[in-house]
Structure 1
Amino acid sequence: MKNTYTHLSTMLILICLFSFLIKNNKVFAQGNAMLSSKNIENRRWQLIMLNGKKIKGSSYTHFLKLHDYDTTADSKVACNHLRYTYVLDNKGNLLFKNGTTTLMACPNQEMEEIYRIALSRTKRYVVNKQQLFLIGADKKILAIFQLVP
């Protein structure tokens, strides 16, 4: 019960913090440099949280990678590969367009569907240190990724 309250309190604090930052159009700094769209592209990001739930997985089974050479996003959540086109700018706007996916029968199809919906609802991104936050039009955090070294 204590862990539940701790988790909920942490999520509430994160939501409040990022709502404030989004409202003020601020992007976090990593070290001394501001992060721009070029800093999130061509890097592998491991999915660590989806719709407020921690995700168990690795950078090979749960990831997102934005390719600047053709503005496509490769992603995987469990077993199917997803490929979307995207539009990204330095003001924190990020939109995923219609994509394709492999159609393997996976044990956790529900998570993949939630993930696809989260990508389709993404309107903005925020980077804090080594984490990428995908944010919807309602300013809710849809997904959190950790930068893979």
Structure 2
Amino acid sequence: MKKSILIVVMAIAAAACSSTKTENKTDGTDTTSVQAQATTTVDLFDKEWKLKELNGKAIVLDTTFKKEPHLVFHKEKEQLSGNGGCNSFSGSYKLKDGNNIELSEGGATMMACPNLKIESEFFEVLKQVRSYRIENNSLLLDNEKKEAVAKLELSK
């Protein structure tokens, strides 16, 4: 009888230790939440990314903007589309090794709007993009020096 109780106690202790090892890393962080975050990683494609910063400065939109500046990467056709705040635009992209990307100009509407400064800067920045990274719900477009030239956030 004592033997069977000892075996049951050891089995329970082993199960508890096993459960603790899968729940916690040696640094005390919960691996289940890390695994959950990894599976919910946002990808680049078929989502509207709204422009929030250009060259490290937050953009401030005024009431003359017809739309919020944004960008969409269409996965199937390797095309991109968006709006600079006044004019719509389109183009194509090509993914390369790592997170390197090449953006190609397509076309844009040519509507006259009172404030084209942000739109013009956005279009110029897109010409400098060489790579991208996604951090949480933000898309960072980097130049050849790996400096973020634009920050966009996932539209909700």
TM, length-normalised to structure 2: 0.68
Q: Out of 44, 51, 74, which is 2:48 matched to?
A: 44
Q: Which has the larger radius of gyration?
A: 2
Structure 2 counterpart of 1:110: 117
Structure 1 counterpart of 2:38: 32
Q: For structure 1, list consecutive stretches of 5 or more residues without a partner in the other structure.
A: 1-28
- Identity among equivalent positions (%) equals 25
TM-aligned CA deviation for residue 62 of structure 1: 1.4
Structure 2 counterpart of 1:93: 100
CA root-mean-square deviation: 2.3
Report which of the two has the higher share of strand.
1
Change (3 A) 1:120 1:96: same
The answer on whether the counterparts of 2:84 and 2:123 sit within 8 Å (CA) in structure 1 is: no
Change (3 A) 1:44 1:30: farther
Deviates more, 1:83-92 or 1:46-55: 83-92
TM-aligned CA deviation for residue 30 of structure 1: 8.5
Deviates more, 1:104-113 or 1:126-135: 104-113
Change (3 A) 1:135 1:70: same
Structure 2 counterpart of 1:12: none
Structure 2 counterpart of 1:53: 57
TM, length-normalised to structure 1: 0.71
Tell me how far apart the structure 2 counterparts of residues 82 and 63 of structure 1 sit (CA, whole Å): 10
SS in 2 for 1:32: helix
Change (3 A) 1:81 1:124: same
User: After the TM superposition, which segments of 4 or more aligned residues of structure 1 sit over 4 Å from their partners?
Assistant: none
Give CA-to-partner distance per residue, 1:100-127, whole Å, 9 cap, x none: 1000012222222211111111000011
Tell me how far apart the structure 2 counterparts of residues 146 and 108 of structure 1 sit (CA, whole Å): 22
